[in-house]
Amino acid sequence: MFGTIYKSGCPRKQISLTVKYNRLPSKANLYYNRLPSKANLSNRGIVIPAANCALCGGPEESEVHLFLECTWVKEVWALIETWCELDLSMITNIEQLLGVAHSLLQSSTHKKVIHAVILSAIWSIWKARNEITFNNKTTSPSVVAEEIKHNSFFWVKNRGKMPQLRWDSWSIFPFTVN
Ligand SMILES: [Zn+2]
């Protein structure tokens, strides 16, 4: 699904410059600190104009900052937490974030939904970061939160084999089917 969305929206001219930055950050890349964030590029000796976070203008962009600590990203997570009635305040690193679904005591369906929401959120946050970094285009946290709702809906409905899901109930609260 992610590959299709990416391919459909990318101008041919920019592919060579941005293709590696537009992939969904894989679990392996996040675990091993290999995501090409500004902090990691600086550590590898690659010179970049500014290492500040493109989304909030704050501290050096690292994975933990970009996906958890950034004030802009916190607004996205707050909207997702309200939507899912989920508390992510104890999450302090990417590994915990990726494993949050498995730490829940709810049903396997509930876990599947949360996992899809978390992965969709990581993809949308990374996409928003690339939009402002490479295209100077800002995205609001509420727009990103809506994108996360849409992407996770289609993912769970189609890939998660839950054709009975309905958007009108999902968009209000994603656990109407258990
Ligand atoms: Zn930031």
CA of 131 relative to ligand 1 center, distance in Å = 14
Q: What is the pTM of this model?
A: 0.75
Question: Could you tell me the distance, in angstroms and rounded to a whole number, from the CA of residue 56 to the centre of ligand 1?
Answer: 4
Rounded CA-CA distance 24/116 in Å is: 13
**Cα 95 to middle of ligand 1, angstroms:** 19
- Residue 18 domain-assigned? no
In a domain, 10, yes or no: no
| Tens-binned pLDDT, residue by residue, of the chain (178 aa) | 444 333 333 333 333 333 344 455 565 566 556 676 766 766 666 655 567 899 999 887 789 999 999 999 999 999 999 999 999 999 999 999 999 988 887 888 889 999 999 999 999 999 999 999 999 999 999 999 999 999 999 999 998 888 999 999 999 999 876 4
**Residue whose tokens read 């309200």:** 82
DSSP SS3 for 113 = helix
Whether 11 maps to a domain, the answer reads no
Residue 34 lies inside a defined structural domain of this protein: yes
Q: In this structure, is residue 20 part of a structural domain?
A: no
Q: Is residue 119 part of a domain?
A: yes
Cα(121) to centroid(ligand 1), Å: 15
For the chain, report the end-to-end CA distance as a whole number of angstroms: 24
Q: How many domains does the chain have?
A: 1
Query: How close is the Cα of 130 to the center of ligand 1, in Å?
Result: 13
Residue 60 C-alpha to ligand 1 middle, in angstroms?
Answer: 8
95's CB contacts (< 8 A; 6+ apart) are 30, 31
